[in-house]
Amino acid sequence: MKWFEQKIRRYEHKRWAEEPNRRSLPFGWGLEHILESPNGTAPRVLLDRFAAETIQSSDSWFAATPAEDYALKDGVLTFTSQIASPWPANNRVHAQFFPVRNACAAVVVLAQWNAKWEEQQGVCHWLNRKGLTAIKMSLPYHDRRSIPSHPRADHLVGPNIGLTLQANRQALLDVKRVLRWLEIQGYDRLGIIGTSIGSCIGFITMCHEPAIRAGAFLHVSTYFGEVVSQGLTTMNVWEPMKQYISREEAIRYWSPISPFPYIPKLRGADKKILTITGNYDPTFWPELTAQFLAELRQNSIKLEHLGLPCGHYSLGVTPFSQIVGYRFGKFLAEALS
């Protein structure tokens, strides 16, 4: 291992170890969050069937209607989520709005797992400087959507299989409602940028949303279950799960909220795609990134890709953050011009 790679990997582990409030929740099948009546059937049978049928009919599963109660106050858009989770606080969506006067293009910004309210506001200001309106949507269970006793977003990526499926579907439907609001405001050129889990949600949204013309995705991988079972930042999630299910089962059960199955939906869609990844990423492993990119190319889907000698956390620090910002700013400005 080269000295620079060693330095990056040490930094990644340091950042991971410094994260506060990390804990492992108990494993749960969570069928009540995705099925109306499990009927006593074995959970494995139900989840296998659910995953296969959901991917087959994903357009219906990810279908969203505009909200009836959009409200913009003090630069924050709020509305009711289309998904009713068990916690009312999570079901009120909050999105920070950064408009550019007379702009026709807007970008939805989706931050990383456990991002705080103020994080990635700099991304929005940078997009403003490129002439693009930005709107940063809080993901389920994050910041103003957090629930009692859970300062971290434990339920967006957690060891409860059904609840994680529901939460990620909720995130995607919330994004669609944001897009509908932007269209009501007159924006007719729409893009999306996501980081880590935000990248996963953003990519699946692009696959199911004709209105999105361009997407920039920071960190990309194949399957949700592969990242959780192998990634550094999700070790606390996988620890209680591995006693009950295998890695292969995690990949199958969470396939409906994974980017890989939906790649073929982009064939012929003529969307602009940029991916930016870290060559030493211990969370979205480079081998999985390579499989994802290979599948895009196998499906004749054009993309721009930038691989940097950094990891997951270090993509957001100097000098990598400047390189990343320059690249996605230029890309989105040109793609939405």
Give the whole-angstrom CA distance, residue 102 versus residue 83: 33
Residue 86 has pLDDT above 90, yes or no: yes
Q: What is the pLDDT of residue 36?
A: 85
- pTM of this structure: 0.97
Q: Which domain holds residue 201?
A: 3-335
Residue 254 has pLDDT above 80, yes or no: yes
Would you state the structure tokens that stand for residue 52, as one six-digit string?
Answer: 């296969």
Q: What's the pLDDT tens digit per position in 114-139? A: 999 999 999 999 999 999 999 999 99
Q: What's the pLDDT tens digit per position in 213-235? A: 999 999 999 999 999 999 999 99
Residue 40 has pLDDT above 80, yes or no: no
Which CATH number is 318's domain given? 3.40.50.1820
Instruction: Compute the average pLDDT of residues 17-30.
Output: 95
- Overall domain count for the chain: 1
Q: What is the pLDDT of residue 50?
A: 97
Give the whole-angstrom CA distance, residue 183 versus residue 330: 23
Count of CB atoms situated within 10 Å of the CB of 261: 20
Confidence of residue 39 (pLDDT cuts 50, 70, 90): confident
